[in-house]
Structure 1
Amino acid sequence: MKEKLLVIVGPTAVGKTELSIEIAIRFQGEIISGDSMQVYKGMDIGTAKIRPEEMKGIPHYFIDEYEPDYFFTVAEFQQRAIQKITEINQRGHLPIIVGGTGLYIKSVTHHYRFSKDSMNKTYRHQLQEWLKIHGKEALHKRLEEVDPESAKKLHVNDTKRVIRALEVYHTTGKTMSEILKEQQIQTPYHLLMIGLTMDRKKLYDRINRRVDLMVQQGLVEEVQRLLKKGYDETLNSMQGIGYKEIILYLKGKVTLEEAIEMIKQATRRFAKRQLSWFRNMPGIHWFDLTNNTLEEKEKITQKISEWLAGKNLLRKE
């Protein structure tokens, strides 16, 4: 029998974390973070990382596992997540991947093969040094020239994945897009996927309020602490939304108000890209959270629970 797997996706700030906890409680779930940034220690406010008291006793994985100078790749995420899914199934529990990093999630649900032949650490280091000299826009332009399809999917600020796509092309002679198209389209799991969506204006309002809250909670101070520890702006982790903008403020290049607005704009654009990515993934069952009053959220949670119970995953207690 295929191993069971539930995936909950959607744009940032839509409400994935809260709903995933409720589903995990009802279906004996354990949660695997599918967010590429929450794996880093000390990067809590800017990543909207779940706090221990919010977990309600549900096991969570791939949160606070590495220092910010660690290069966490999609290939490593895939390998470790596949192993964790097996372990959770063997315990008789339901593995639930929750997140918004589309490639991370699809690498697991469809077992993309990341061969060692596509890895070249020397060339990767050369690109990282080239980036410091020429900048992220020039780096993204290099990707546009060899793999325009991947370049469209990757934001100019996502330098880690831009470098990875260039590394794949340099090492294999094939673009990342070509390699992904060659991969199997059938999932090896008894897989169910839930997508959460919301009216765009309301989602953007939630994003703006979340950014304001992050600043109130001490985002500037968090970035200052990371910089004092020696984690500088050249690290992939420090290029994350919220961190690079605050660094610009701390360096005196923009005002705090300008940095906050830059974070809001970048996050809104990121949410739009997330929705586009997930809309192109087949098999996702979508639920609209636009009306997110307490009563309506309880109705949606119950509706999702009934849908899952009828899909032969794990029955509710």
Structure 2
Amino acid sequence: MTKKKPLFILVGPTAVGKTSTSINLAKQLNGEIISADSMQIYKYMDIGTAKVTDEEKQGIKHYLVDEIFPNEKFSAADFQKRANKYISQILVKDKMPIVVGGTGLYVNSLVYDLDFTKAISNNELRKKFESEASRYGNDYVMEKLKEVDLKSAKRIHINDTKRIIRALEVYHETGKPMSESYNNFRKPNPLYDIAFVGLYMDRKKLYDRINYRVDKMIEEGLIDEVKNLINMGYDKDLASMQGLGYKEIINWLDGKYDFEEAIRILKRDSRRFAKRQLTWFRRDNRIKWFDVEKCSDKKDLSKNIANYVRKKLNY
């Protein structure tokens, strides 16, 4: 029987303090960090993604940060492939691979046994449903989904057009609801022995931190960052440019609403995003949760987590 590879995963909502905590942990555990953030992978997108700076890294090597251009496509399958490669490279150096981020599907691609090569795909169906969503709105395609797969419809947010369409595509291609395969979806990845840690804090305090972070992004030059991306020729409709912090500034630049409204929407949607992240990760009962406020300082927090990881992985 092949020995499982040790893997430490640190998750949590945006603005909870994953970056600084992970760097402290990498020092204590002799680790290197793999980002599981769907926005930090893009070059030139630094302020709006709260990307870790060279100074913040404190010499700790990071992977899957600044790896692709904003007009390149990057899927969970791409993440899985690269992350597995980097985990192996880190282990060869006798270091601890530490996956850090809040993109749920990226994390799932490592903690569960997901085979993306067997993914069902029908471009014609997808284009048909995309056209219907664009023409009649999300409510229309969501009603279609409710008729064939009520469980998926309840699980997917009304604004998540991509996943609504994906669920419809799976049903019409296979004749079976996606929720049926979803129930068999969560088989642990046999490759890894995982220490899975989540960070959380009082919701009001987290929301205050999110609001402050948005204000700080504006001060640090988010508007110029968005303008520079547009001037470099990156289309406003790219997946990267529709990320939080970018689409709101683009809509303001396009005159869809005034600046104060853009900031209000960005803060609101960032808070909603944090709530969705917590909901996503709370479903996995393997996660050991740490309240960042219950520790006297960041060093105390990382020490407690490091002790848990060492014990869990016999490291």
Q: Same fold (TM over 0.5)?
A: yes
Match of 2:7 in 1: 5
Match of 2:76 in 1: 74
8 Å Cα contact 2:194-2:313 kept in structure 1: no
The Cα shift of 1:136 comes to 5.7
The Cα shift of 1:170 comes to 4.3
Larger mean Cα displacement after TM superposition, 157-166 or 211-220 = 157-166
Match of 1:36 in 2: 38
Q: 2:245 is aligned with what amino acid? A: G
SS of the aligned residue for 1:95 comes to strand
8 Å Cα contact 1:112-1:180 kept in structure 2: no
After TM superposition, the structure 1 = structure 2 runs for residues 40-189 of structure 1, keeping only pairs within 5 Å, are 40-121=42-123, 123-124=125-126, 143=145, 146-183=148-185, 185-188=187-190, 189=192
After TM superposition, the structure 1 = structure 2 runs for residues 201-216 of structure 1, keeping only pairs within 5 Å, are 201-216=204-219
Tell me, yes or no, if structure 1 residue 310 matches structure 2 residue 311.
yes
Larger mean Cα displacement after TM superposition, 122-131 or 26-35 = 122-131
Match of 1:217 in 2: 220
8 Å Cα contact 1:8-1:99 kept in structure 2: yes
Match of 1:245 in 2: 248
Larger mean Cα displacement after TM superposition, 28-37 or 167-176 = 167-176
Counterpart of 1:282 (choices 285, 289, 295) is 285
8 Å Cα contact 1:11-1:274 kept in structure 2: yes
The Cα shift of 1:15 comes to 0.4
TM-score, normalization by structure 1: 0.88
Q: For residues 219-252 of structure 1, give each alpha carbon's deviation from its aligned partner in whole angstroms, at most 9, with x where no partner exists.
A: 1111122222332232222221111111110011
Match of 1:191 in 2: 194
The Cα shift of 1:19 comes to 0.5
CA distance, structure 1, for counterparts of residue 290 and residue 311 of structure 2: 16
CA distance, structure 2, for counterparts of residue 137 and residue 65 of structure 1: 36
The Cα shift of 1:163 comes to 4.6
Q: 1:78 is aligned with what amino acid? A: Q
SS of the aligned residue for 1:58 comes to coil
Q: For residues 110-148 of structure 1, give each alpha carbon's deviation from its aligned partner in whole angstroms, at most 9, with x where no partner exists.
A: 121223451345555565566655556656665555545
CA distance, structure 2, for counterparts of residue 278 and residue 119 of structure 1: 27
CA distance, structure 1, for counterparts of residue 177 and residue 283 of structure 2: 19
TM-score, normalization by structure 2: 0.88
8 Å Cα contact 1:158-1:239 kept in structure 2: no
CA distance, structure 2, for counterparts of residue 137 and residue 232 of structure 1: 27
Q: Per the alignment, do residues 282 and 80 of structure 1 end up closer, same or farther by CA in structure 2, a change over 3 Å counting?
A: same
CA distance, structure 2, for counterparts of residue 70 and residue 123 of structure 1: 24
8 Å Cα contact 2:70-2:240 kept in structure 1: yes
8 Å Cα contact 2:121-2:169 kept in structure 1: yes
Q: Per the alignment, do residues 177 and 99 of structure 1 end up closer, same or farther by CA in structure 2, a change over 3 Å counting?
A: farther
Aligned length: 312
Q: 1:311 is aligned with what amino acid? A: K
8 Å Cα contact 1:36-1:101 kept in structure 2: yes
Larger mean Cα displacement after TM superposition, 217-226 or 177-186 = 177-186
SS of the aligned residue for 2:265 comes to helix
* TM superposition outliers: structure 1 runs of 4+ over 6 Å: none
8 Å Cα contact 2:200-2:290 kept in structure 1: yes
CA distance, structure 1, for counterparts of residue 42 and residue 180 of structure 2: 30
Q: Per the alignment, do residues 288 and 184 of structure 1 end up closer, same or farther by CA in structure 2, a change over 3 Å counting?
A: closer
Larger mean Cα displacement after TM superposition, 62-71 or 92-101 = 62-71
SS of the aligned residue for 1:260 comes to helix
The Cα shift of 1:194 comes to 0.6
The Cα shift of 1:179 comes to 2.3
RMSD: 2.5
CA distance, structure 2, for counterparts of residue 154 and residue 241 of structure 1: 19
SS of the aligned residue for 1:290 comes to helix
The Cα shift of 1:62 comes to 1.3
The Cα shift of 1:187 comes to 3.2
